[in-house]
Structure formats: structure tokens, C-alpha cells
Structure 1
Amino acid sequence: MKGLDIGSDRVEELAATSAILLYSRQDRSAVYGTVHPVTQDKGGRATIGAGRPIDRMALFDCLRELADNAGPKAEFLPETVLAVSQDAVMWWCRPAMRRVFFDCPEIGRRSAVVPHPGLVFRAASNGFSVFALQEASRPTPDSMLHEPPYFNTWDWGKICIGSATVPKRIDIGSIAGWESGFFESAFTHPNHGNQRVSHPKGEFAFWNDMLDGKYGEQFPRDALVSMDITLAELIAGRKGDLK
């Protein structure tokens, strides 16, 4: 009956303190309710005590507290934020020079600062995803998304987090932490699935060229592979596994 509150920066242990039982008609409409104290023994086992009729004002106060603690808080939206929902945050990264880390037999242990395309990240309750963009400006709903040209990614942009450290929160304030979890972890292998990058000699040759500085400070956008999905469709959850 205990859990962790991941809606705050400090991980806080929660414990059940009371329970509400609703009594309903056959049509499931609630007509009566009772509130019961909950006690826990040293082993963490919970016991629901004797109930009393719900007090109307106490119920309203309880619902108000729940709404204050569970509801999203108003906050400033940076221009990089593309969409926010109850269980997901989506944002955009400008094309930039960033360091990457590799640790795989085909490339070895290498690190270098290389150019990256514009990227769309999505942190959600069902996973962490990344998508590439052809344009260098802030994407619009009609912008076409492309495969992330990275190792450790699955189809539809899913990121294999592995041992990377990512935030427990999914909100605007944790965006920097999600980005760091992606860029500061080592790429170890290409995952099975769709082609991630277009290169005549394959993904290992592509990333060796990148690490050797072949492309200077401009990511080779002709190496991106289209996913045939727009940003608007991603936000709306066109694909079942993106919802």
C-alpha cells in the first residue's frame, strides 16, 4: 500500500491513510458512500477500519486537495516545447554540434563532437522517443519526421534507455534531464528494424565518417530516412504504439 511520488523532484514515500467505499444501484450510479481509516502494520500490510458516512464538505476538501496535487501546474512554455499532455511532453532541439559516445566492437570506444540534425523528442509514460527533421527551423504540424540516425533506437523512434539515467518526471522542467540521458550515454549497437540512416556502406561507415569529421559542422540531411509521418500525426498518436 506504499508507493513513490514521482511527481516531484524529491522522491517521496506515500502511504494509504483512508479509503472511500461507494454503494451503487444496478446501473452503477453511486448513491451512498463511507470513509474508512487505513492502518498498516510493521510488515506494510494494510487494514481498512470501520467506516462512517461521508461528510459532504470533507469530500469536497479531499477532492480539492487531489486536484491541486495531481493537476498540471501553470508554467512558462519555452519555444522548443511542441506539445504537452497528461502523460507526455514533446519538444524540439535545433541542429547543433554535440558530443557522442560509442562503445561497440565495429567502431570501438570513440567520442567526438559531431553535427546533429534538428530533433523531436517525446518523453511519455510509455517510453522515450526521438525523431529527426530535415529543416533547421522550428517544425510545424506539417513537418515530416525521419528515422533517428542513431544506434540504440527501435522502430518509430523508440529509444533503448538501457543504463542511461533519465528523470522520473515527465514535464517541461525535466526536458534537459531527458536530453542529457540520451546524448551522454554510449551508443553500443544498431537495433533491429527499419533502416535508420542512408549510407552506401551502412550505419557503421556512416558513424565512422561522422566521428572522423567528414561532414564538418553540417549534418548530411540526405542521409535521413523518411518515416512517412508528420509531426501533427505524431502528436495525435496516429500509430497505436505512439499513443
Structure 2
Amino acid sequence: MKNLTNNFSSSYQPVKALLIYNKQTGEAEHNTIYVESYDIGKFGNPINAHPLSLKETLALSGLFQTAQELKTGFLRCRGLMPNKVLYVNNEKGGYAVWYTPPQEVTLFFSDSLGIKSGNGKVPAMIWRAGRESLAVYALKGNRKPTEKTALYHAPFFNIYHDGKVCMGNVRIDIGQETRLEDFMQQWEKYYWNSYFSHLMNDHNPVTENIVQLWQTQINTERTFPCQVLKPTNYTLKNLFL
């Protein structure tokens, strides 16, 4: 703390101070605000008291605008909204919900499972993520979902019954200014590059033995057998709440 204070004092010097007056009128909506501005003298004392000028007001407004842009940059698009985006909430930390169609990905499995890592076809998926947590679900078919679309348990290891993912030792590093396109790309990369290792609380997300399922799927041309998916109690709309 001592070092921080010394560095701050040597790098930043006070130049302006504002004093805000509030004239009480008995009705809050009719209260009057007056702002008085002070320059800071060479000895650190306030001097030259005067009403806040237009130039000072514009400069102050620019600072607030910059701060607001930093605050709201998280999950904003660089351009057009990507087609796979379903919902974005920038409030209370922020989260996004998006869709990926059936695809082939590289899957990594811990040796203890007895499943060779390799390429496998996965079903369409729904992703719901904030800066520090991820939940995934599966869909039947390949159509882009609507609010009423039923969700199924994602047919993978390391997932709780409610869809939340245990990321294990994966280091999640998503900044406060991360744009939406990068946000989705980062989470998908984190997920597919992590190792599947075990079932969470003995939750088997499919109707058959999940180990045998992936042993027969990896490094083949088989599409994922969606008939083995187990339904959740959710529809897509539940993820927007």
C-alpha cells in the first residue's frame, strides 16, 4: 500500500476540485444543483473558485462517456449480430446464450475412462455463459431453436444435472471488455480443449452407457444418435431468466 501511494503521488497531480451544492426546496424533483469549480494551486490548495464553466462541463462529460463505454463494452458486437446468438444480457455481470449446429470436433478424454481422444460428431448445442461459468445443453435436429424448443442434457462428462460445466483446472480468463464474438469463441475453445474425466454426482446424461457410447463414436463417420439424449425440464426460454 505504501509503494502504491508513492507511485500514485508521483504520477498523478491534482488539478481540479468540484464542490456540489444542493438547494432543498421540499420537493426532490425541484431541488437545485450548483457546481463550483476550484483550480489546485502549486501547494495543493484549492484556489480560484468559480461556477463550473461550459468547457469544464464538456471535459467532465467526456470522462464519464469514456467510463461508460468501458463499462458497456462487454458482450457488445463489433458489427452485425452473429446468426448463432440467441440472447444477450449486459446487466448484472452479463451473459450470453448461443447455438451451434451438429458438428465434428476433437474430444479429449482422460486415460481413466478408457476412451481414445479423437474426432467425434456432436449434436446441436445451446451454450449459456457468463465471464466465469458455463452451462451447455443438447438439441435434437439441426434447426435453430425458438423459445419453446425443448432442451436435452448434453451427452458429455463433467456436467452437472442442471447443465453447469465443471471446468476443472482450466484457467478462465475473459476480460471485462471482451466483445461478443470473442466471448463465444473463447468459451467454445475452453470447452472443447478441456479433458472429459468423470460424471458429476453419478449423473448419466444419456439413456445408455456413456463410456461405451463414445468408444463407438470416436474416429468414425457416425452421426450422433440423438435418440439417446435425455430431456431436461427446460425450454430455451428458461435460459433467458
User: Does residue 139 of structure 2 align to residue 138 of structure 1?
Assistant: no
Query: CA distance change for structure 1 residues 35 and 99 in 2, over 3 Å: closer, same or farther?
Result: farther
**How much has 1:16 moved relative to structure 2?**
9.7
User: Given that residues 131 and 174 in structure 2 are in contact (C-alpha distance below 8 angstroms), is that contact kept between their aligned partners in structure 1?
Assistant: no
Which runs of 5 or more residues in structure 1 are unaligned?
A: 2-14, 37-48, 238-243
Larger Rg: 2
User: Does residue 180 of structure 2 align to residue 172 of structure 1?
Assistant: yes
TM-score, normalised with respect to structure 1? 0.69
**Secondary structure at 1:192's aligned position in 2?**
helix
Structure 2 equivalent of residue 205 of structure 1: 212
The Cα offsets for residues 12-61 of structure 1, whole Å up to 9 and x where unpaired, read as: xxx99999998888x9999677999xxxxxxxxxxxx9899976444322
Aligned match for 1:79, one of 80, 83, 92: 83
Structure 2 equivalent of residue 229 of structure 1: 234
User: Given that residues 126 and 137 in structure 2 are in contact (C-alpha distance below 8 angstroms), is that contact kept between their aligned partners in structure 1?
Assistant: yes
For the residues of structure 1 that align with 2:20 and 2:202, how far apart are their CA atoms? 49
**Secondary structure at 2:65's aligned position in 1?**
helix
User: Does residue 196 of structure 2 align to residue 187 of structure 1?
Assistant: yes
User: Does residue 165 of structure 2 align to residue 156 of structure 1?
Assistant: no
**How much has 1:193 moved relative to structure 2?**
5.8
Structure 2 equivalent of residue 12 of structure 1: none
Structure 2 equivalent of residue 89 of structure 1: 96
Query: CA distance change for structure 1 residues 194 and 111 in 2, over 3 Å: closer, same or farther?
Result: closer
TM-score, normalised with respect to structure 2? 0.69
For the residues of structure 1 that align with 2:13 and 2:159, how far apart are their CA atoms? 42
For the residues of structure 1 that align with 2:28 and 2:146, how far apart are their CA atoms? 45
For the residues of structure 1 that align with 2:69 and 2:222, how far apart are their CA atoms? 47
Structure 1 equivalent of residue 224 of structure 2: 219
Tell me the percent identity.
Answer: 22
Superposition pairs for residues 38-117 of structure 1, below 5 Å? 56-72=57-73, 73-74=76-77, 75-86=79-90, 87-107=94-114, 110-117=116-123
User: Given that residues 99 and 112 in structure 1 are in contact (C-alpha distance below 8 angstroms), is that contact kept between their aligned partners in structure 2?
Assistant: yes
Structure 2 equivalent of residue 129 of structure 1: 135
Partner AA of 1:190 in structure 2: L
Quick check: which one's strand share is greater?
Answer: 1
Aligned pair count? 207
User: Given that residues 97 and 239 in structure 2 are in contact (C-alpha distance below 8 angstroms), is that contact kept between their aligned partners in structure 1?
Assistant: no
User: Given that residues 96 and 129 in structure 2 are in contact (C-alpha distance below 8 angstroms), is that contact kept between their aligned partners in structure 1?
Assistant: yes
Partner AA of 2:70 in structure 1: N
**How much has 1:64 moved relative to structure 2?**
1.6
User: Given that residues 113 and 197 in structure 2 are in contact (C-alpha distance below 8 angstroms), is that contact kept between their aligned partners in structure 1?
Assistant: no
**How much has 1:139 moved relative to structure 2?**
1.2
Q: Which has the higher contact order (CA 8 A, sep 6+)?
A: 2
Superposition pairs for residues 18-37 of structure 1, below 5 Å? none
Which runs of 5 or more residues in structure 2 are unaligned?
A: 2-10, 39-44
